[in-house]
Amino acid sequence: MKAESLNSDLRDLIDFQAKAVSSHYDLPPKFFAGFLGPRMAYSCGYFADEDNTLEEAEENKLLLTAKKLDLKKEDTILDIGCGWGSFLFYAVENFGCQAVGITVSKEQAAFVNSVAEARGLKDKVRADVVHVYNMDYPREFFNKIVTIGAIEHMDDLHRVFSKSAPFLKEDGLMLVHGMTKPWSAREEELQGISSEVGEMVKEHFGVGYWKSLWELMEALEKSGFEILDHENITRHYQLTVERWLERLQENEAMLVDNIVPEETYREFLVFMAGYIVGFETSHTLCNQILCRKISCGDLRPALPLTRENIVLHSGKGCLCKKD
């Protein structure tokens, strides 16, 4: 009886989260195309230089992610919360990998699958509409997992990573990229002190759970992952959203009423501005964590001795070259 009740609660939670998150991401893709870069990456870019364009920052981020995951042609990738497929297509088109993305947004999955068909990549890439708690793939089917800008919608990171781990081969790599809160703010939330702004942000994105960095790392370790590398990319996200906001304002005439109501457009203006302030004032942080599935007692395959292969060096322009 208790198990049935728990399952029912979980089903309700999954339904709630899927509907809530979809309310944000099921807005027309043309609206998001009105402020995102050409890859439609709705997450932090990576700036080799403060003057990088949004397009360059998108390419840099994808390259950096690929380098951290040590992508190879034979890789099979799972992208949890794949959005409009920016990383899926980057991995398939630049490295020849096989890739599966999951999203709760029907609009996003339809977009990814239609682009895959249009580009003749149906046998290489697809998006499934499924909640992370319900995903079901063969054991050790993937050797790389990535989740970019999606953990913010996930209530229980331990459940997410424990659910993901069996689908990953032993010694497979996982890259987790997402926003966190400083511990002081998170501690207040855990004590039941909610901020009006925090609640509004959650409503804007349908549903949101911003954890602290150590909670994220704890969930990874407890789920059988060894943390290999961490990079704080908060400043990169501030620069990214500054460019989104500029583009949103530039495209106002094209977007308002043609694609979304003016109130929706203006709500996005405020939330983007709010995120810029949040990053600037350390209310919100962004991190990339690279880890691998390994158990205590397992032989440790050799890793590079330095971070040289997982960094992008600063400099002018785009770093988007694959060495």
Partner 1 sequence: MQERLTANHIAEQVFDHMVPKILVEQPDIARRVNAVIGIELTGENGGYWTLDLTDTPVIERGKTKEPKCTLTAQVDDFRDLLTNGSVRAALDAFKKKRIQASGHLPTILKLEVLLKSLSKQNNVVA
Give the binding site for partner 1 (CB under 8 A). Answer: 196-197, 200, 245, 262-263, 266-267, 269-270, 272-274, 276-277, 280-281
For partner 1, which is the closer residue by CB, 29 or 198? 198
Shortest distance, position 107 Cβ to partner 1, whole Å? 23
Shortest distance, position 235 Cβ to partner 1, whole Å? 15
For partner 1, which is the closer residue by CB, 149 or 274? 274
Q: Hunting for tokens 């583009």 — which residue is that?
A: 247
The answer to whether residues 284 and 278 touch, using CB atoms and an 8 Å cutoff, is yes
Within 69-129, residue ranges assigned H as helices are 86-95, 106-118
Q: Residue 8: left if φ>0, alpha if ψ -120 to 50, beta else—which one? A: alpha
For partner 1, which is the closer residue by CB, 14 or 182? 182
For partner 1, which is the closer residue by CB, 74 or 246? 246
For partner 1, which is the closer residue by CB, 38 or 261? 261
The answer to whether residues 148 and 286 touch, using CB atoms and an 8 Å cutoff, is no
CA-wise closest residue to 90 among 114, 111, 71: 71
Shortest distance, position 285 Cβ to partner 1, whole Å? 17
Residue type, 251: N
Q: Under DSSP, is residue 146 helix (H, G, I), strand (E, B) or coil? A: strand
For partner 1, which is the closer residue by CB, 127 or 272? 272
Shortest distance, position 245 Cβ to partner 1, whole Å? 7
CA-wise closest residue to 105 among 210, 25, 8: 25
Shortest distance, position 197 Cβ to partner 1, whole Å? 6
Shortest distance, position 203 Cβ to partner 1, whole Å? 9
Cα separation, 24 vs 30, whole angstroms: 13
Shortest distance, position 281 Cβ to partner 1, whole Å? 7
Residue type, 250: E
CA-wise closest residue to 75 among 178, 163, 1, 145: 145
Residue 113 has which token pair? 């699958």
For partner 1, which is the closer residue by CB, 175 or 276? 276
Express the helix, strand and coil content of the chain in percent, nearest 5 each: 50, 20, 35
